[in-house]
Amino acid sequence: MLYDVLIIGGGIVGGAIARELSRYELRIALCEKEVEVGFGATKANSGIIHGGHHAAPDTLKGRLEWAGNQLWDELAAELGFGFERIGELTVALYDEQTPVLDRLLHHAAVKGIPGVELWTPERIQQEEPALSHDIIAAVYAPTTGVVNPYEACYALAENAAQNGVDILTGFPVLRLHWNGELWEVMTPGARLASRFVINAAGLYADQVAAMAGVGNFAIHPRKGQEYLLDKRLRGLVKRVIFPCPSPVSKGILIIPTYDGTLMVGPTAEDTTDREDRSTSAEGARTVFDAVRRLAPGINEKDIIAQFAGLRASADGEDFIIGPTARRGFINAAGIQSPGLTAAPAIARMIVEILQAENLPMTLRNDFVGRAPHPVHFAALSTQEQIALTLRHPRYRRIVCRCETVTEGEVIDAIERGASTLDGIKFRTRAGMGRCQGGFCTIRCMELLSRLRRLPMTALTKRGADSWLVCERQEAVNGDERAPGIEVGDA
Amino acid sequence: MITSNPRHLRGSYDVVVVGAGPAGLEAAVAAQDAGADHILVVDRETEAGGILVQCIHSGFGLHRFGQELTGPEYAQRVLTQVVKRNIDVVTDAFVLDVDRERRVKLMTQEEGVSLIDAQAIVLAMGARERTRAAIHIPGTRPAGIFTAGMAQRLVNLYGLLPGRRAVLLGSGDIGLIMARRLTLEGVEVVGVFELMPYANGLNRNIVQCLHDFDIPLHLSTTVVEIHGRDRVEKVTVAPVDANLRPQMERAWDVPCDTLLISIGLIPENELSEQLRLRIDPMTNGPVVTSTMECSRNGVFACGNVVHIHDLVDFVSAEAMLAGRSAGRYVAGAAPPADNVRLLPGENVAYCVPHTISTEREHTIYMRTRRPLEACSLRLTDLGGKVIYEKKLRYVFPAEMVNLKLRPAVLHHFHNGALRVDVAPRADG
Ligand SMILES: Cc1cc2nc3c(=O)[nH]c(=O)nc-3n(C[C@H](O)[C@H](O)[C@H](O)COP(=O)(O)OP(=O)(O)OC[C@H]3O[C@@H](n4cnc5c(N)ncnc54)[C@H](O)[C@@H]3O)c2cc1C
């Protein structure tokens, strides 16, 4: 298969690039090594669209943070994923921290970010009464938003596919070879060829660059543990709360997620293992000790889930975006925080780079930017729910009772590409609530089994060796096949 | 087993029962006996019967039916009574919300979302299992972590196994039953790890499910970390000290592909919270009067949604009371309000009901906080005078204590509150 542009990596960055490029008359492929897109840093982060004033204006991160921030309203409106500008406070607990606040105000002034202002302790208490009385000042930014990052990634990839991009999941890129005219891209199942290759491989971007012969940087994984809290605490804090940042991290935050539940984290721990997404008791302690200083009412008892993500930080701590010494090989690497925020701006930057590299770019006239918005039953009013279920019987069964997800939504997710339990969970929220899948797991498995025509024993949590169930001994021995293995297929 | 029976749902019912487990079904029957005409029972599963449907082992019904039955048999007996009557049952349906005017927002296969008015509501949604998050086990998030109940469902209803080599965390009854069930299925059950110095399940289950199968039970030991990127590869376990803190220097690894979690049940309190009922922080269920009425008039509750029972027989008894009360409430024949509050005292975690009346006979259910031998259960008034005392040979947190209290006992008592203690006997 011959492409004009081949993107390596199906995270939010690769997804945004694919969708942006799909506006043009180009043959495009996106190769993702996992069975679904979005399973890297994109599914395990804080979900914050940063206000624009955190990173310094003279860094690439700083420019793209604010540029990206401004693109999210339109994207969310077109693609129908959850995004809301809920605002943020960066709070100072000691006098020594006030210079940090001054610096944020200065960044905002230089970048021209509207509405960023200093709040007094009285104002803070009035707006966020759950916050500690020890807070002496805060910088408020109305521009900060929260998003469901995986939803955004799925929406981008699906819309790209709708506009002709080949989304190739389960396609790890193993080798790259420039044959004088084209990049040959080797994956286990296929050899692909493309004029341009874009490296959006997240944690593995240094290895992919090395495959192209330009491995002149290293990616240092930095782990972030996050703790999701029971919905009992909904509304306790209304805005994203940042402490004053340190040089390596923005610190431990309180995040009212798009769905309303509170999340606290992340830690910032340098590690060498690119696959180590484990949480630890020390991590929990670090997070809750820090959070208690900001909001004394939050504690470990309310944890309903915990996870860790890995930031892909490059030497120098800035993004590495641009052409390389190898013709046609372009990096979008070192995309650590705020990479989610910046992703739509990174995509536009890639368009400019490709134009500068003389790739002819003609806008297509049949580009469809608006995607049908997925049904989200729980978010509908009672009247809307009545109307929906009257018309469509597929939404008449509740599959996930904690998040009230209907069978129809799970079927939609599978039809849109979910092939694993995590794929369903991140598209629909089924399994994310209090009971953590106790009720819905088997139901989701039955639906996957039926629609994908796979036995239950072939299903996985997230691909590879993450099998879920196995056959009974008797069934293995062949003398009695257990009933109900292909549930629903009968 | 039955699924939905009504061809048409009415726009209003005398009593809507949420949940068609033993609690809901018994309550429906009792409500009708007490005078309610139109009764609807709703369940989110495709079959009525609740958790009993997947409990194919025996040990149910000795009190209620004087006979040892399996879970499905017990459920069937209760169901038969419902089927004989004119009670609407709708399965594969879901109560999305109940508002303060007792308007029920219902989702059914037949009609989608609809609104139904109820004069009385009986909450009988049962319980859910505590998950790994409830005790924050650090580590990775691989496939192969199941609650014991989920594993039970997989094995008994789907004929599938959760894995090949399992570690069990917690010694709750479902976990113990599953240790045996999985062993019989050829799964290697490596061991059961219990945080507390005593087992959490009934003694008969420890003997019949672990000892009889040589499955080791490690008391005062817990799982401190889960390993494995895709599927569970091993867990780290560690003994705990007297303050339940893991002693990491004595930790060891146990290779396995499956971790079953059986660390207890918690009342399914979503609707109770939506209704803003008063919740007892000890039970996590609604506070109830001696007629099983919650803090909102016309809303009753019974079974595991109120507190976790270890025997279904007691669920039935509690449900009959709740159903009868709902029926009487609808008929305008509710008894006078309670006049005594029960205060859990020494070694008593909670009492249900939370209030009683000096005019009627009551069964009081309670759980103790720690095991104790040769003790006594005392009711004391606020002045310190012992009103009632009963000797107990032993108590165990895993076994509910119940006390039948006749009005005669409280005849001269008008004080408003009674403290309930389970303490060493005064005579030693
Ligand atoms: C804990 C945490 C919190 C964060 N919070 C925020 C926040 O609040 N706001 C914000 O803006 N940013 C945040 N970030 C940063 C943000 O998550 C990342 O910058 C962003 O997700 C990066 O997207 P990506 O597409 O570059 O990487 P990824 O999502 O990791 O995608 C890279 C993809 O490349 C694939 N891949 C790798 N190698 C190959 C190969 N050889 N062949 C094929 N495919 C390959 C991977 O499987 C992966 O899917 C946070 C990060 C972490 C870890």
Per-residue pLDDT tens for B151-201?
A: 999 999 999 999 999 999 999 889 999 999 999 999 999 999 999 999 988
Nearest CA in chain B to A226: B138
Beta bridge partners of B237: B223, B252
Q: Which amino acid is at B105?
A: K
Q: What domains lie within chain A, and their CATH numbers?
A: 1-83+146-217+315-373 (3.50.50.60), 88-142+220-310 (3.30.9.10), 377-458 (1.10.10.1100)
Do the beta carbons of residue B407 and residue B358 sit within 8 Å? yes
- Rounded to whole angstroms, the Cα distance separating B338 from B352 reads 13
Q: Is the pLDDT of residue A247 over 90?
A: no
Per-residue pLDDT, A433: 83
- B386 domain-assigned: yes
Count CB neighbours of B131 within 10 A: 22
Do the beta carbons of residue A209 and residue A340 sit within 8 Å? no
A462–B230 CB contact, under 8 Å: yes
- Rounded to whole angstroms, the Cα distance separating B84 from A180 reads 83
Per-residue pLDDT, A436: 84
Nearest beta carbon to residue A401 from set B44, B154, B185: B44
Domain final residue pick, B263, B286, B301: B263
Q: Is the pLDDT of residue A479 over 60?
A: no
- Rounded to whole angstroms, the Cα distance separating B93 from B108 reads 4
Per-residue pLDDT, B426: 74
Distance from the first to the final alpha carbon of chain A: 39
More confident residue, B173 or B300: B300
Q: Is the pLDDT of residue B218 over 50?
A: yes
B386 and B291, same structural domain? no
**What CATH number corresponds to the domain at position B352?**
2.60.40
pLDDT tens-digit map of A143-152: 999 999 999 9
* Residue nearest atom 33 of ligand 1, based on CA coordinates: A9
Tell me, yes or no, if B162 comes closer than 8 A to chain A by beta carbon. Answer: yes
Per-residue pLDDT, B1: 54
- B5 domain-assigned: no
Q: Which amino acid is at B347?
A: N
**Is residue A41 lining ligand 1, measured as CB closer than 6 Å?**
yes
CA angle (B265, B268, B272) in 5-degree steps: 140
Tell me, yes or no, if B105 comes closer than 8 A to chain A by beta carbon. Answer: yes
B166 and B121, same structural domain? no
* Residue nearest atom 10 of ligand 1, based on CA coordinates: A338
Residue B128 makes CB contacts below 8 A (sequence gap 6+) with A434, A435, A438, A439, B265, B266, B268
- Work out the pLDDT band at A1, boundaries 50, 70, 90: confident
Per-residue pLDDT, A489: 35
**Is residue A341 lining ligand 1, measured as CB closer than 6 Å?**
yes
Distance from the first to the final alpha carbon of chain B: 53
Phi first, then psi, for residue A148 (nearest 5°) are -90, 100
Nearest in space to B339 (alpha carbons), one of B420, B252, B414, B243: B414
- Rounded to whole angstroms, the Cα distance separating B283 from A435 reads 17
User: Residue-wise over B147-182: b if at least 16 C-beta within 10 A, else e?
Assistant: bbbbbbbbbbbbbbbbbebbbbbbbbbbbbbbbbbb
- B204 domain-assigned: yes
B169 and B116, same structural domain? no
Mean pLDDT, residues B271-298 taken together: 96
More confident residue, B427 or A47: A47
Per-residue pLDDT, A490: 31
**Is residue A402 lining ligand 1, measured as CB closer than 6 Å?**
no
Mean pLDDT, residues B21-39 taken together: 97
Q: Which domain covers residue B376, as residue numbers?
A: 340-424
**Is residue A252 lining ligand 1, measured as CB closer than 6 Å?**
no
ipTM over 0.85: yes
Q: For chain B, what is the domain count?
A: 3
- B2 domain-assigned: no
Nearest in space to B359 (alpha carbons), one of B295, B410, B305: B410
Strands A262-265 and A191-199 come out as: unpaired
Contacts A232 to B, Cβ<8 Å: 273
Mean pLDDT score across all residues of chain B: 94
More confident residue, B384 or B166: B166
Q: Is the pLDDT of residue B428 over 60?
A: no
B76 and B156, same structural domain? no
Q: Is the pLDDT of residue A487 over 50?
A: no
Q: Which ligand 1 atom minimizes the distance to the CA of A226?
A: 1
- Rounded to whole angstroms, the Cα distance separating A10 from A31 reads 7
Secondary structure element (H or E) that encloses residue A388, with its range: helix A382-391
- Rounded to whole angstroms, the Cα distance separating A456 from A483 reads 12
Mean pLDDT, residues A18-25 taken together: 98
More confident residue, A481 or A350: A350
> Model's pTM, two decimal places?
0.92
- H helices of B241-371, in order, are 270-274, 312-330
* Location of structure tokens 């960023």: A116
- Rounded to whole angstroms, the Cα distance separating B309 from B51 reads 13
- Rounded to whole angstroms, the Cα distance separating B99 from B112 reads 18
Contacts B133 to A, Cβ<8 Å: 303-306, 436
* Token duo for residue A379: 């978010």
Do the beta carbons of residue B104 and residue B121 sit within 8 Å? yes
**Is residue A45 lining ligand 1, measured as CB closer than 6 Å?**
yes
Strands A398-400 and A405-406 come out as: antiparallel
**What CATH number corresponds to the domain at position B199?**
3.50.50.60
Burial class (CB in 10 A: 0-12, 13-18, 19+), B349: middle
B21 and B98, same structural domain? yes
* Token duo for residue B97: 């919300």
Q: Is the pLDDT of residue A485 over 80?
A: no
Q: Which of A105-119, A165-179, B123-137 is predicted with the least confidence, judged by mean pLDDT?
A: B123-137
- Work out the pLDDT band at A475, boundaries 50, 70, 90: low
Do the beta carbons of residue A50 and residue A87 sit within 8 Å? no
B121 and B135, same structural domain? no
Dmax over CA atoms of chain B, in Å, equals 66
Per-residue pLDDT, A372: 87
Substitution site in A7, A19, A32 for ligand 1 pocket (most atoms within 8 Å of beta carbon): A32
Secondary structure element (H or E) that encloses residue A345, with its range: helix A339-356
B283 and B204, same structural domain? no
- B72 domain-assigned: yes
Q: How far is A183 from chain B (nearest CA, A)?
A: 32
Residue count of chain B, please give it.
428
- Rounded to whole angstroms, the Cα distance separating B14 from A21 reads 61
A482–B140 CB contact, under 8 Å: no
- B4 domain-assigned: no
pLDDT tens-digit map of A315-330: 888 999 999 999 999 9
- B194 domain-assigned: yes
Nearest in space to A350 (alpha carbons), one of A18, A37, A3, A65: A18
Nearest beta carbon to residue A460 from set B109, B143, B162: B143
Q: Is the pLDDT of residue B277 over 90?
A: yes
A50, A54, A220, A376: the active-site residue: A50
Per-residue pLDDT, A476: 61
Reduced DSSP (H G I as helix, E B as strand, rest coil) percent helix, strand, coil of chain A, to 5: 35, 25, 45
- Rounded to whole angstroms, the Cα distance separating A387 from A194 reads 48
Do the beta carbons of residue A225 and residue A33 sit within 8 Å? no
Nearest beta carbon to residue B164 from set A435, A470, A485: A470
User: Residue-wise over A351-370: b if at least 16 C-beta within 10 A, else e?
Assistant: bebbeeeebeeeeeeeeeee
Per-residue pLDDT, B136: 84
Nearest beta carbon to residue A279 from set B138, B147, B150: B138
Nearest in space to A327 (alpha carbons), one of A346, A350, A354: A354
- Rounded to whole angstroms, the Cα distance separating B410 from A155 reads 67
- Rounded to whole angstroms, the Cα distance separating B135 from B126 reads 21
- Rounded to whole angstroms, the Cα distance separating B369 from B347 reads 5
* Token duo for residue B369: 């906080």
- Work out the pLDDT band at A252, boundaries 50, 70, 90: very high
What is the CA A75 to chain-centroid distance, rounded? 14
B113–A386 CB contact, under 8 Å: yes
Nearest in space to A233 (alpha carbons), one of A153, A303, A330: A303
Per-residue pLDDT, A477: 59
Do the beta carbons of residue B224 and residue B397 sit within 8 Å? no
- B147 domain-assigned: yes
Tell me, yes or no, if B44 comes closer than 8 A to chain A by beta carbon. Answer: yes
**Sign of the torsion formed by the C-alpha atoms of B359, B363, B367 and B372:** positive
- Rounded to whole angstroms, the Cα distance separating B395 from A99 reads 62
B288 and B228, same structural domain? no
- What is the DSSP-derived secondary structure letter of residue A256? E
- Rounded to whole angstroms, the Cα distance separating A287 from A146 reads 20
B138–A284 CB contact, under 8 Å: yes
B169 and B115, same structural domain? no
Per-residue pLDDT, B96: 97
Count CB neighbours of A277 within 10 A: 21
423-442 in chain A: CB under 8 A from chain B:
434-436, 438-439, 441-442
Per-residue pLDDT, A488: 35
Number of cross-chain residue pairs from A and B with Cβ atoms under 8 Å apart: 147
Nearest beta carbon to residue A438 from set B139, B147, B164: B147
B111 and B35, same structural domain? yes
* Token duo for residue B264: 């207890």
B152 and B79, same structural domain? no
Q: How far is B44 from chain A (nearest CA, A)?
A: 8
Q: Is the pLDDT of residue A396 over 70?
A: yes
**Is residue A52 lining ligand 1, measured as CB closer than 6 Å?**
no
Per-residue pLDDT, A484: 40
Percent pLDDT > 90 in chain A is 89
DSSP character string of B338-393: P-EEEEE-TTEEEEESSEE-TTS-EEEEEEESS-EEEEEEEEEETTS-EEEEEEEE
Q: How far is B424 from chain A (nearest CA, A)?
A: 32
**Sign of the torsion formed by the C-alpha atoms of B200, B205, B209 and B214:** positive
Per-residue pLDDT, B134: 77
Domain final residue pick, B246, B263, B280: B263
pLDDT tens-digit map of A166-219: 999 999 999 999 999 999 999 998 999 999 999 999 999 999 999 999 999 999
- Rounded to whole angstroms, the Cα distance separating B362 from B343 reads 16
Per-residue pLDDT, B343: 96
- Work out the pLDDT band at A249, boundaries 50, 70, 90: low
- Rounded to whole angstroms, the Cα distance separating A464 from A188 reads 14
**Is residue A144 lining ligand 1, measured as CB closer than 6 Å?**
no
B270 and B259, same structural domain? no
CA angle (B68, B70, B72) in 5-degree steps: 140
A50 catalytic per annotation: yes
Peptide linkage before A338 cis (omega within 30 of 0): yes
A466–B159 CB contact, under 8 Å: no
